[in-house]
Amino acid sequence: MANIKSQIKRNRQNRTRNHRNRQVRSEINTRTRVAIDAIETDQETDTAQESVRLAIKRIDKAAQKGVLHKNAAARKKRRLMQRLNARHDD
């Protein structure tokens, strides 16, 4: 355990941020999974597009806040869009 006041505060801040970032990452994974399920189960195009749009919106916000690296966010968005386009081009 830290003895220095500033380090104690830093540990407290890190715990808080870690908890918040974990929630954001969990939400991104959930929204991505919902979007993929909508694409794979041949739901109507509007439903799949809407779920992909919501997932991308959350990914962008996480990248903006620094939870995700911008390249990781771009990669996730690209893979989602590739699935959507491949499924609905058939």
Handedness of CA 33, 36, 42, 48 (dihedral sign): positive
12 has pLDDT over 90: yes
Please report how the helices 45-65 and 5-40 are oriented relative to each other, as an axis angle in degrees rounded to 10: 160
pLDDT value of position 70: 97
Note whether 72 and 79 are within 8 A (CB). Answer: no
Q: In this predicted structure, what is the pLDDT of residue 88?
A: 63
Topology of the domain covering 5-89: Methane Monooxygenase Hydroxylase; Chain G, domain 1 (1.20.58)
Please state the rounded mean pLDDT for residues 36-54: 87
Asked whether the predicted pLDDT for residue 37 surpasses 80, the reply is yes
Q: Which of 36-40, 42-46, 47-51, 65-69 has the lowest mean pLDDT?
A: 42-46
Q: What pLDDT, on the 0 to 100 scale, is given for residue 31?
A: 96
